């Protein structure tokens, strides 16, 4: 393994995918002083991402959380491209946050492995696809792992660092330290398990909420009220599904089912229905709830 695979060798980060997660993760790296390139297939997606980053981090200056200079410097450190492989040539760390589809990620990892410098760590933000399913698409399985952020990434403190059987200790240490340097709290998983830790906890609550709603025990709105006012959760499970994206929940369950073959891991029928109707939550203006504007 390359001797340069250390926290101090990381200066430039490539974030592949400019959806909700990739956008905010890119902003986090830039705010922590890293040069960031965010890539996506479409210029329109990148333009939306750039606007969202500006809006979110300008607010930090308005609120006095960051100085005007810090915010301007962070914005200046961010570049955008539709050519991920060209961008990968001079980066030290890659965080992939593309769509949750195994075949797409495997192709990306194979291509990134060819393009990125030898010392670079290739991490995936996936919560559903463990890096053991990606590592053999590369020639550097020891430098491949999951680095899993939570939505909204600018706010949520936890980052799960999940090793595959071949991930080196150094890669785990460097990735966990990187999470710390961008202000996050790393949680290390010593082995892969579907859903990792936080989503397994969350899934238990969500599945019970879906069962209660389906059985007509209470409305989804009231189940959310119970989670907020009886358990002190910042959001109820249905509000959270809308925030994370019904499409994301659907694809995560499909990926889990693909790994386990367990019919119990398939998306709940209500999620399938919303997914089929294109009601993806906040991003489409309608999911469980309706959103103005
Ligand atoms: N993006 C970035 N920042 C956001 C945001 C968003 N989408 N929504 C809210 N914020 C910021 C606000 O700007 C505000 O910051 P400020 O105080 O500096 O202005 C702060 O968060 C609080 O926002 P609000 O006052 O509007 O609302 P809340 O106090 O209700 O907080 C919340 C919003 C942070 C989203 C809170 O409701 C929460 O923590 N919800 C639970 C989120 C959660 O459980 N996430 C995990 C999802 S699972 C996951 O991501 C796994 C993945 O694999 C799918």
Q: Is residue 1 part of a domain?
A: no
pLDDT in tens, 117-136: 999 999 999 998 999 999 99
- pLDDT mean over 50-57: 96
The answer to whether residue 256 scores a pLDDT higher than 90 is no
Q: What's the rounded Cα separation, in Å, for the pair 155 and 3?
A: 33
Are residues 177 and 212 part of one domain?
no
Contact (CB, 8 A) for 41 and 80: no
Which two tokens mark 252?
């995560």
- Write down the pLDDT at residue 1: 46
Q: How large a percentage of the chain has pLDDT more than 70?
A: 99
Are residues 177 and 69 part of one domain?
yes
Q: What's the rounded Cα separation, in Å, for the pair 277 and 270?
A: 11
Q: Give me ligand 1 centre to Cα 152, in Å.
A: 5
- Write down the pLDDT at residue 4: 65
Are residues 131 and 235 part of one domain?
no
- Write down the pLDDT at residue 166: 98
Report the chain's mean pLDDT, rounded to a whole number: 95
Are residues 158 and 106 part of one domain?
yes
Are residues 76 and 23 part of one domain?
yes
Q: What's the rounded Cα separation, in Å, for the pair 230 and 180?
A: 32
- Write down the pLDDT at residue 260: 86
Burial of 196 from C-beta contacts in 10 A (0-12 / 13-18 / 19+) = buried
Rounded alpha-carbon distances, angstroms, from residue 31 to 67, 203, 210, 256, 273: 11, 31, 38, 33, 39
CB of residue 150 inside a 6 A radius of ligand 1? yes
Q: Give me ligand 1 centre to Cα 155, in Å.
A: 6
The CATH number that applies at residue 153 is: 3.40.50.720
CB of residue 195 inside a 6 A radius of ligand 1? no
Tell which one of 234, 245, 289 to mutate to probe ligand 1, the residue whose CB is within 8 A of the most ligand atoms. Answer: 234
* Angle between helix 20-31 and helix 68-76 axes, rounded to 10 deg: 120
pLDDT confidence bin for 255, thresholds 50/70/90? confident
Q: What's the rounded Cα separation, in Å, for the pair 135 and 284?
A: 34
Are residues 244 and 128 part of one domain?
no
Are residues 238 and 131 part of one domain?
no
Are residues 60 and 106 part of one domain?
yes
Q: Is residue 2 part of a domain?
A: no
Are residues 202 and 174 part of one domain?
no
Contact (CB, 8 A) for 26 and 48: no
- Write down the pLDDT at residue 124: 98
E strand or H helix at 74: helix 68-76
The CATH number that applies at residue 241 is: 1.10.1040.10
Q: How large a percentage of the chain has pLDDT more than 90?
A: 93
Are residues 249 and 121 part of one domain?
no
Contact (CB, 8 A) for 214 and 40: no
Are residues 216 and 74 part of one domain?
no
Task: Note down the domain range covering 262.
Answer: 198-283
User: Measuring from atom 11 of ligand 1, which residue has the nearest CA?
Assistant: 155
Are residues 129 and 225 part of one domain?
no
Return the minimum-mean-pLDDT range out of 75-84, 220-229, 248-257.
Answer: 248-257
- pLDDT mean over 166-185: 98
Return the minimum-mean-pLDDT range out of 17-31, 72-86, 110-124, 254-268.
Answer: 254-268
Alpha helices in 89-232 (DSSP H): 102-115, 169-181, 198-214, 220-231
């Amino acid at each position: 393994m390359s001797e340069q695979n250390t926290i101090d060798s990381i200066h430039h980060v490539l974030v592949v995918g400019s959806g909700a997660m990739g956008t905010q993760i890119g902003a986090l790296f830039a705010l922590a002083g890293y040069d960031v390139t965010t890539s996506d297939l479409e210029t329109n997606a990148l333009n939306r991402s750039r606007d969202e980053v500006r809006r979110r981090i300008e607010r930090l200056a308005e609120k006095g959380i960051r100085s005007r200079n810090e915010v301007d410097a962070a914005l200046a450190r961010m570049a955008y491209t539709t050519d991920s492989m060209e961008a990968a040539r001079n980066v030290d760390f890659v965080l992939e946050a593309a769509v949750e589809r195994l075949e797409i990620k495997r192709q990306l990892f194979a291509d990134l492995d060819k393009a990125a410098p030898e010392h670079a760590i290739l991490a995936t933000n996936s919560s559903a696809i463990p890096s053991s399913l990606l590592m053999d698409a590369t020639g550097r399985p020891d430098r491949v792992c999951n680095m899993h952020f939570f939505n909204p990434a600018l706010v949520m403190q936890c980052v799960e660092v999940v090793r595959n059987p071949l991930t080196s200790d150094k890669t785990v240490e460097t990735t966990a330290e990187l999470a710390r340097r961008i202000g996050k709290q790393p949680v290390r998983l010593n082995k892969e398990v579907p859903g990792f830790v936080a989503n397994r906890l969350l899934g238990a609550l969500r599945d019970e909420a879906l069962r209660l709603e389906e059985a007509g025990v209470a409305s989804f709105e009231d189940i959310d009220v119970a989670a907020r006012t009886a358990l002190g959760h910042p959001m109820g499970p249905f509000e959270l599904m809308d925030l994370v994206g019904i499409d994301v929940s659907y694809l995560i369950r499909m990926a889990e089912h693909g790994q386990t073959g367990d019919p119990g891991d398939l998306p709940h029928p209500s999620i399938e229905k919303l997914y089929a109707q294109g009601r993806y939550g906040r991003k489409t203006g309608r999911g469980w709830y309706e959103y103005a504007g």
